[in-house]
Structure 1
Amino acid sequence: MRLSRSLAPVTVAVALVMSLPYGAAPHARVAEPFGSECRTRVQGSQVIAYCHNPYADADRVRLHIECSRWWDLDTDSSPIDTGPAATVRLTGRCWKEVRSVWVSHQKP
């Protein structure tokens, strides 16, 4: 049986990969679960966020607040490391209304 010219290189490549030992072939890395679960609450100009880390790796969280008024300064909290099974509280405020709030996550 004769293979077509376009199919022959593919067949050779598959045969080479299949003949490699198991440890020699590249494997896709499985990402481990990461990141705290955060809840935010806005009351007037005050912002409170609670972040709980259910995973084994630490998570560095920061609270970001965007204020509605152009003259009101947006704020970012200092980063806080949240260890396994730990809960942290992040707070911040605007002088007037709050436009948006989010929490960023980073591996320490």
Structure 2
Amino acid sequence: MFEIPQLLIPGVKLQKLTKHVSNKGRQYEYSQYFIYIPKDFEAYVKDRKWLVTIIIDGKEFPIGIKTPSRHNNYYIITLPSDLDYYWERKLYQKVDVLLQRP
């Protein structure tokens, strides 16, 4: 099978999952940012490591090497929480994802 070295996924929504966790009687909030991989791209993306770059308004944010993980019936790519300032500004809006083979 032909291996694709680079893949651009346009117009995926940046999403957020917030969990409330209690530890020793204290409540903590844990947020995780992620993007869903569209079903059309799953065959190319799954079970491989990718160098992920998020493109927002022409700015590139290199994320690093990620392997898509399974979430229910979809594959997702989790994003680092230390860039939450940028993710919050574009939450639930469409961004582009550039995947490159490392």
Q: Report the TM-score, using the length of structure 2 for normalisation.
A: 0.34
Which structure would you say has the larger RCO, counting Cα contacts within 8 Å and 6 or more residues apart? 2
